[in-house]
Amino acid sequence: MKRSVRYIAGVFLLLGALAFSLLINSCPNPMLDAVKKEVEAYQQGKTEETETATYTVDGVTFKMSYVPGGHIFPTGTDDSGEATVTDAYWIGETEVTYELWYAVYTWAVSNGYSFANAGREGNDGTIGASPTAAKQEPVTFINWRDAMVWSNALTEWYNAQNGTNYTTVYNDSGTPIRDSRDSNAAQCDNVTPDEAATGFRLLTSDEWELAARWRDDSTNTVGGYSDHWFTKGDSASGATADYNDATATGAVAWYNDNSGSSTHEVKGKAANSLGLYDMSGNVWE
């Protein structure tokens, strides 16, 4: 699908959003009891409704939505490709906010982490703003190495605050990578994500596209997929028409024509069928 504004699956950047919307490694995994129950309920066919899990640490809350695995779905702007994400997973309902980034970043730099970039709130936010302020625009001005290392920090921060034992995804010889500076580029660039890990990580391209395309009704969907509906590739995530329809696109995304060349607080537009916001527009990529 087109992504004229915002959501990347692997963290390439221009303004560098933490554009991976948090994702816990493939289900089933050891999770909080509430999350386990939701997964079990879905796997038993008890619901087709959006499943969510809420995480709160040090007064900062973020939610994650469940994405079913095992579906063949179309890929590409022209819907000419196909892919399958075998395992189900949990994805953050929004881009990573500056509030969440800053809370984890502050803990991380006091616990052995180093970052190439400190991050900002949106496109014009200041660095190091008070975490008690309402910082609900996406974090920007970071690179993918920062995002990868920050994911490890989020995992360790969450464990430290909640007594959980999630395991980091990005490791070197069993040790979490905790430095995203250019001097540590080789360690970051050569890492292989640990598929058995249970902590937070970045999305793959296919995982992003499945979550973006998922649809609960047949409007503006690709034909030929009998097990589910998927939004067309020439449309924003959750849109009822293609990109040429300003009303349909503007309902779900901030982009050139309606953003005022600025980022906005998350959840400013309608969510898609999985309850995910800004999948096709907020931070410019």
* pLDDT tens, residue by residue, 76-133: 999 999 999 999 999 999 999 999 999 999 999 999 999 999 999 888 776 655 444 4
Distance between CA atoms of residues 260 and 274, nearest Å? 27
Distance between CA atoms of residues 182 and 168, nearest Å? 21
Q: What percent of the chain has pLDDT over 90?
A: 66
Task: Note the pLDDT of residue 126.
Answer: 65
Q: Which of 229, 252, 228, 255 is nearest to 240 (CA)?
A: 252
Indicate whether 1 pLDDT > 70. no
What pLDDT band is residue 40 in, cutting at 50, 70 and 90?
Answer: very low
- Comparing 50-54, 245-249, 255-259, which segment has the lowest mean pLDDT? 50-54
Task: Note the pLDDT of residue 136.
Answer: 87
Q: Span 194-208, mean pLDDT?
A: 93
Q: Which of 82, 76, 103 is nearest to 232 (CA)?
A: 76
Distance between CA atoms of residues 135 and 35, nearest Å? 26
Q: Which of 185, 195, 86 is nearest to 143 (CA)?
A: 185
As beta bridge partners, residue 179 has 114
**Alpha helix stretches (DSSP H) within the chain:** 33-43, 98-109, 144-162, 185-189, 205-213, 246-252
Task: Note the pLDDT of residue 125.
Answer: 76
Question: 97-136: string of b/e by CB count within 10 Å (b at 16+)?
Answer: bbbbbbbbbebbeeeebebbbebbbbbebeeeeebeeebb
- Comparing 16-20, 193-197, 231-235, 262-266, which segment has the lowest mean pLDDT? 16-20
Please, what is the average pLDDT of the chain?
Answer: 83
What pLDDT band is residue 153 in, cutting at 50, 70 and 90?
Answer: very high
Task: Note the pLDDT of residue 226.
Answer: 85
The number of CA neighbours under 13 Å toward the Cβ of 205 is 10
Query: What is the crossing angle of helices 98-109 and 144-162, to 10°?
Result: 80
Task: Note the pLDDT of residue 241.
Answer: 97
Indicate whether 183 pLDDT > 90. yes
